[in-house]
Amino acid sequence: MKTKLTSKFLILLLSFLVLSSCDKFLEEDLRDEITPDAFFTNDKEAELAVNGVYRLYHNNNLYGQRGLDNYYTSGADIQAASRNVNNAIHNYLIQEGTADGNGTWIQLYRVINNTTEFISNIEGNENLSEDAINQRLGELLFLRALAYYHLTNLWGDVPFYTEQLPVPERSVLGRSPKAEIRSAMKADLARAFDLLPASYSGSNLGRASKWAAATLKAKYHLFDEEWALAKAECDIVIDQSPHRLLDNYADVFDQSDPSNQYNDEHIFVIDFEADLVGELSTTRTDDYNPRIRDEPAGRNNDTIVDGVSGSKVSIFQGLLRDRNEDMTGFGWSVPLPEFALRENWQEGDLRYDATIVSEYLGWKLSFPYFRKNWNLDQENSLRSNHPENYIVFRLADVYLMAAEAENELNGPGSAYAYVNRVRERAFEPDQPWAGMSQDQFREAMFDERRFELSAEGHRRMDLIRWGILLERVQSVQHRAWNNPGTNIQPYHVLLPIPQNQLELNPNLLESDPSNNGYR
């Protein structure tokens, strides 16, 4: 009887003990992740948040691979693939659901959501020093303005928010007018300019400086044809910044030493590094690198070099390997025939050889390539694992923008000085511009920007803002497998809101049921 009572008592006791602690027992115990309510308590944390946003720009849908290049570099009059690949882009088969930029859209809104969340947490945060608040706010404002720049360039009107909205609200926003978005971003950039430092060094190289903010603001104004404002921003960069044009055009793009990729002309770059996991190395270079399958010309023909006989490809590849080089790329981005021909460039343009390569080590190549963007080095720049930075803004572009804005504003008179600064190093002997009408200057600029800035992510937006995209795409010669001229339509100056996004948020069709003309 005693044991019976004891055991009954024990059962009761046990049950009570467990019951009373049940709710506590069932609490979630999260130990290995940071939660927002315990963050932004010191300057270091603010820095971590900003660093995360830079990471987003490395994504393959933006600067990492050909995400933005698909819409900024391809589909214009300079380059296309060496075969029938990526043909939705190269043949203007863009439609809802096909090459509609869905991944780029998603990634840009990641930037917007993260910057917005972080800005609201940093602004006025008493745990942070004033310096930290200024620096981090400046960077975040710039990074967000860069995202809206791309969104409004590619789609025009887009959903717009700069405050933290709850998920259910954020997910159903319709499109806001492009002008409203851009004017807010210009104001943000003015603020960023005031907050950001003038220069960085060491392990901060790669962060946005005030000159990056000014250059982006200049672009906003230029695209909106606010010539005076554009010119003013360009002048600030040209006159006040430590950036300068390098003496030698080819040096601007020389990234062969991975530990020394920055130079004075770079205003803002996305910094890639080989051997790092995720998207921190780039595959963009592979698009510019040849495939050995294509090279050299007549590759299977036998030949004899220095007494060694064999197929051309085997001897050529042997020579490359002796230099620790190889052709391991994709060949997805090669110059179109017209652009690759020397006679289509102005006589004496030194930029040609820095830009185009059609012969290598004395061997004729099947295709021309962009020398400024390729890298055959098999030690530091391997296939799918390249360290080359994406040069987003550089000073020569700012000079040309200033020239263009000044010409639109006051005619060529004061504009020559800007363009001729760029042409100075491009020609030996100098071939400065002079004596042009405003129209002549404008049209000459169409070509000048092509030769100076090819394959740098400017061309297609330039053609669009000048209103000559259709005409140029239809008139330029394409290779046999591409025929974009017959497919391109006036509405192709914008992308359709991606099909996937329309499915998830039908409100995106409210303000424009035609979806930028695609329906």
Partner 1 sequence: MNLKRILLLLLFFSMVSLQAQQDLTGTITDESGQPLPGVNVLVKGTATGAVADFDGNYAIKAPEGAILEFSYLGFVTKSVPVGTATTINVVLQEDVSQLDEVVVIGYGTSTKKDLVSSVASVKSDVLENQPVARVDQALQGRATGVEVTSNNGTPGTGATIRIRGNSSINGNNDPLYVIDGFIAGTGFNLNTINVNDIASIEILKDATALSIYGTRGASGVILITTKNGKGMAPGKPVIAVNHYYSLQETANRINILDGQDFIDYKNESYQFVPGPDGFGFTDTSLPLVFDPENTTTTDWLDVVEQPGAISNTDVSITGNSENANYFISGNYFNQKGLLRGSGLERVNFRTNLDIRVSDRFKTGIRANMTHYKIENNKVNYGNIVSSVLPIRPVYLEDGSFSFENPISAGLERNPEADIQHRVDHDLVTQLITNAYVDYKITKNLSFKSTFGAQLNYVKQNNYLPGILPERVTGGYGRINTNFTKSILNENTLNYDLDLDDHSLKVLGGFTWQKDNNESTFAEADNFPNDVVSFNNLALGDSETATVGSGYGQRTLTSFLGRINYGYKSKYLLTLVGRYDGSSVFETGNKYAFFPSIGAAWNVDEEAFMVDSDVINRFKIRGSYGIVGEQGVAAYNSIATYANTATVFNGSLVNGVLVGQVPSSGLTWETTKQLDLGLELGFLNNRISFEADYYKKTTEDLLLAVALSGQVGANSTTQLQNLGSVQNKGFELGLNTINVQNDNFTWESNLSISSNNSEILELDDQEFISLQSTGNQGGNSARLIVGEALPTFVGARYLGTYKTAEEIISDGREGRSFIGGPRYEDVNGDTNINDEDFQVLGSPIPDFYGGFRNTFTYKNLSLDVFFHGSYGAEIWNVRTQTAYYGRGEQNVDPIVLQRWIAGVNETSDIPRAGPSNSLFNVNSDLNIEDGSYLRLKTMTLNYDIPMEAKGLGNVFSAMNVYVTGTNLLLFSDFTLGDPEVNNFTAGSGLGSVSQGFASGQYPYAKTITVGVKVEF
Window 236-265: residues binding partner 1 (CB under 8 A) = 258-259, 261-262
Smallest gap from Cβ 423 to partner 1, in A, equals 31
Q: Which stretch binds partner 1 (CB under 8 A): 190-198, 223-231, 233-241, 324-332?
A: 324-332
Q: How many CB atoms lie within 10 A of CB 446?
A: 15
* Binder of partner 1 out of 42, 106, 197, 263 (CB under 8 A): 106
* Binder of partner 1 out of 227, 250, 264, 291 (CB under 8 A): 291
Of 110 and 372, CB closest to partner 1? 110
Per CB under 8 A, contacts with partner 1 among 162-201 are: 167, 170-173
* Binder of partner 1 out of 97, 318, 348, 413 (CB under 8 A): 97
With 0-12 / 13-18 / 19 or more C-beta atoms within 10 angstroms meaning exposed / middle / buried, residue 244 is exposed
Whole-angstrom CA distances from 108 to 60, 63, 196 are 12, 11, 22
Of 187 and 276, CB closest to partner 1? 276
Is the four-CA dihedral 131, 133, 136, 142 of positive or negative sign?
Answer: negative
Of 139 and 448, CB closest to partner 1? 139
Smallest gap from Cβ 193 to partner 1, in A, equals 21
The 8-class DSSP code of residue 385 comes to B
Per CB under 8 A, contacts with partner 1 among 112-151 are: 112-114, 116-117
When asked if residue 317 is in the footprint of partner 1 (CB under 8 A), the reply is yes
Whole-number Å distance between alpha carbons of 263 and 257: 12
Q: Which long-range contacts (CB under 8 A, 24 or more apart) does 485-492 make?
A: 487/91, 487/92, 487/93, 488/92, 489/92, 489/517, 490/517, 491/516, 491/517, 491/518, 492/75, 492/92, 492/94
Of 292 and 444, CB closest to partner 1? 292
Q: Which stretch binds partner 1 (CB under 8 A): 13-21, 229-237, 399-407, 469-477?
A: 13-21
Per CB under 8 A, contacts with partner 1 among 329-358 are: 330
Of 18 and 187, CB closest to partner 1? 18
* Binder of partner 1 out of 434, 467, 480, 513 (CB under 8 A): 480
* Binder of partner 1 out of 2, 126, 163, 300 (CB under 8 A): 300
Whole-number Å distance between alpha carbons of 96 and 89: 13
Smallest gap from Cβ 359 to partner 1, in A, equals 18
Q: How many CB atoms lie within 10 A of CB 457?
A: 17
N- to C-terminal Cα separation, the chain: 87
186: which 2 tokens? Answer: 């210009």
Per CB under 8 A, contacts with partner 1 among 405-464 are: none
Angle subtended by helix axes 395-410 and 210-223, to nearest 10: 40
* Residues paired with 390 in a beta bridge: 270
With CB under 8 A, what is the number of residues at the site for partner 1?
Answer: 105
When asked if residue 14 is in the footprint of partner 1 (CB under 8 A), the reply is yes
* Binder of partner 1 out of 12, 13, 34, 308 (CB under 8 A): 34
Q: How many CB atoms lie within 10 A of CB 361?
A: 12
* Residues paired with 270 in a beta bridge: 390
Of 348 and 506, CB closest to partner 1? 506
Residue 175's region, left for phi above 0, alpha for psi from -120 to 50, else beta, is: beta
Per CB under 8 A, contacts with partner 1 among 37-96 are: 39, 45, 48-56, 58, 83-85, 87-88, 95
